Amino acid sequence: MFSGKSYHIWLPILLVCLATITAGAQSFRVQCPTTTITHPTAANLEPAYTGPTNFAPGPAGYLVPNPSSVNGAIKCQQISGGDGFATMGDGTQTYMFSFGPLSGLSDIANGLPGTQFPDKFNSVYNGTLLPGDPATTGLATFKFNGAVGLVPNLDCLAENAAAAAQTPPAALPCPNLPAGGLDGHVDPRPIMDIGVLNGNIPAPLMALDEDDEFFLTLTNVGQIMRPDLFEQHTVHFHGYPNASAFYDGVPDASVAINIGGSFTYYYLAPDAGTYFWHCHITPPEHLQMGMVGQIYVRPRQNRVPVGQSLLLALQQQQQDPRTKCDSSADILCSNPLPRVPNVLLGTRATTGNYAYNDGDGSTYYDVEYPLQIHGFDPNFHFVGMTFNPEGFTEMKDKYFLLNGRSYPDTVTEGPLQTMSADGAMHFSQPLPSIIKLKAGQKALLRISDLDVTEYQTLASLGIPMKVIALNARLLRDQAGNNLYYNTNSITLAGGESLDVILDSTGVPAGTYFLYTPNLDHLSNDAENFGGLMTEVRVTN
């Protein structure tokens, strides 16, 4: 079709034609294919890691994986960009610019990641979603984790049926339509019913496994409390190595998503670690106003069959240039083979998981807790609900948040709900921060910070913090020596993360505290009690 010089002539003409076709297309849609080049077989589980993915040249000029060697799976999630309200530790309702869940609603409300395999994501709600759901219907009966709005593409089904009925049968107008017609077409009504004022702080939790393909659809439902604004939103995957500018979420360097539109971000999961995400539109405003969330990537090592050598598994990873860490050739990889193999912890444990591909079992944990540090300036949020411009130099946080809550809300079980301006209760803060450990267990704390004004310190009273990773990278030198260190406090600025292991071995049962020694942060605005604090509960 394109040949020689005529290509330069045809291209603009075709562009114009394309614009006329797509202008009529719907703007909200979700994307969650069941198969791709990288995952050629539909599967809704994580296969065991027994060796690297093998590739062979394919007919279209690129490498295709040997299906039996494929690692990882397809994962999907949908979020809304809009606004909402949250409840502060002193009972104040605070206005937010915020993301909310538009898939995985039940899991999110139960404090779990909302990231789903395609079969869960591509499921249709049987009934009518109500504003405020799942809070309106109630946690006990609301079990839906699919994409809000997803419906069969009836037009395509009908057109295909009509074409097939002709003699001879005509070419199908929608050749790739999945059975049941679920091609990502959505009904905007439930999206607006659920998405408006469903803001969460932190934003919906995401979790991936290495080798996963992740399809994240951001649907901009607008900010109903701020009809004067036409705010775009984006998702910045903070800390992703070798990010693409297109999917980096910086509006200046890429595209931003207008109100009424959906955009699907696409990434192959990066190396394991504790990352986080946020909107990158006018960051001092959108981050302060609450558009911050958590995402972490679990290592291949978790998928090694029980009892098998972790060192051998890490050696297997060296055979794929994408997954290897050769310090002599790559200055930015963090998990070379351990210099000293660990005989005691060297095989895949029957329970628990690992934070990184350590090859020596040293990042083992029994339970994991994402903890995000943040701060709200009530004056800024108040002005943010009005039509006035906010100032930045005098910004001063007065609420100090762990997973969007201040003490004592941090130790309230279940989701916190807030009565919002639509008269419905919404699950505004789904994540408690109670660290629960049985004596002898290890807890992995995935701590990230998206405060926009100052550094914050989190200290542990009683149980030492073992820091195993900074900024989503294992603390290991290029020679393979682990550089973990014990401390009783960590300090982070916005834009930083680290991983801490709390080991309750030898710790008497009881309640311990994580709290900030920035003592003025142990407050909830005017209340001289609360703030950045939560509990570690060790039981026998």
Partner 1 sequence: MRATNMKKAILKSRMLLAPMVAVATLLLTVFAHGAAPGITGPSFDLRAEAAYITQPDGAMVYSWGYGCNTAPSGFAPSAIGNAFCSSMQIPGPTLIVTQGDTVTVKLTNGLPTAAGNTSILFPGFNVTTTDGVIGLLTHEAAPGGVVTYTFTATTPGTRAYYSGTQSDLQVEMGLYGAIIVLPSSIPSACTTGFAEKNRTAESHWGESDFRLAAAAYNHPKACYDREYLFQFSEIDPRIHSQAQAQVAAADCTPTATTPPALPPTCTLNVATEPYVPAYFMINGRSMPDDMDGNYAQQYQHQPYNGNPHMHPGEQILLRVIGQGRWQHPFHEHGNHVRVLARDGNLILSATTPDNSLAGPLLFTTTTTPGQAMDGIFYWTGKGLDWDVYGHNPTSPEINGKLPCIADSNGYNTVDPTAINYYEWCQDHNKPLESKPFGDVAKGGPITLPDANILTNGAWYGGSAYLGPNATVRAVGFTGTTPPSGTIANSPTDEAGFAFMWHSHNEREITTNNIFPGGMMMMMLVDSREFRIDESN
Of positions 31, 116, 198, 223, contacts partner 1 by CB under 8 A = 31
Under rule CB under 8 A, residue 477 binds partner 1:
yes
CA–CA separation, 102 and 114 (whole Å): 9
Asked if 248 interacts with partner 1 (CB under 8 A), we say yes
Contact 96, 90 (CB under 8 A): no
Structure tokens given for 221? 């439902």
Reduce the secondary structure of 458-482 to three states and give it as a string: EEEECCCEEEEEECCEECECCCCCE
Residues near partner 1 (CB under 8 A), total: 101
Say how far residue 117 (Cα) sits from the centre of its chain: 14
Residues 176-205 that bind partner 1 (CB under 8 A): 184
Task: Give the Cβ contact number of residue 330 at 10 Å.
Answer: 13
Within positions 146 to 165, which residues make up the interface with partner 1, using CB under 8 A?
A: none
For position 452 contacting partner 1 by CB under 8 A, the verdict is: yes
* 490 touches partner 1 by CB under 8 A: no
Task: Could you list the beta-strand ranges (E) of 14-168.
Answer: 55-57, 63-65, 74-87, 93-101
Check binding of 318 to partner 1 (CB under 8 A): no
User: Please, which residue, 21 or 344, has the CB nearer to partner 1?
Assistant: 21
Q: Any contact of residue 239 with partner 1 (CB under 8 A)?
A: yes
Closer CB to partner 1, residue 412 or residue 491?
491
Residue the block writes with tokens 């079980």: 413
Residue 25 or 519: which CB sits closer to partner 1? 25
Shortest Cβ 437–partner 1 spacing (Å): 28
| Alpha carbon distance 106, 198 (integer Å) | 14
Q: Which stretch binds partner 1 (CB under 8 A): 82-90, 163-171, 421-429, 491-499?
A: 491-499
Q: Is 70 in the site for partner 1 (CB under 8 A)?
A: no
Tell me the backbone φ, ψ of residue 231, rounded to 5 degrees: -70, 130
**Other Cβ atoms closer than 10 A to 164:** 11
Q: How far is CA 287 from CA 54, 84, 192, 207, 290, in A?
A: 42, 14, 23, 21, 5
For the record, the structure tokens of 90 come out as 């002193």
Quick check: 486 binds partner 1 (CB under 8 A)? no
- Could you tell me the smallest distance in angstroms from the CB atom of residue 214 to partner 1? 10
Q: Which of 112, 174, 224, 243 is in the footprint of partner 1 by CB under 8 A? A: 243
Q: Which of 45, 56, 228, 252 binds partner 1 (CB under 8 A)?
A: 252
Q: Phi/psi at 20 (nearest 5 deg)?
A: -70, -30
Residue 392 contacts partner 1 per CB under 8 A: yes
Task: Say how many residues make up the chain.
Answer: 540
235, 470, 522, 536: which one binds partner 1 (CB under 8 A) = 470
Q: Within positions 266 to 295, which residues make up the interface with partner 1, using CB under 8 A?
A: 266-268, 270, 280, 282-285, 287-288
- 56 is a contact residue toward partner 1 (CB under 8 A): no
342-369 burial, b if ≥16 CB within 10 A, otherwise e? beeebbbeeebbbbbbbbbbbbbbbbbb
29 sits near partner 1 (criterion: CB under 8 A): yes
In the complex, least distance from residue 471 CB atom to partner 1, rounded to whole angstroms = 5
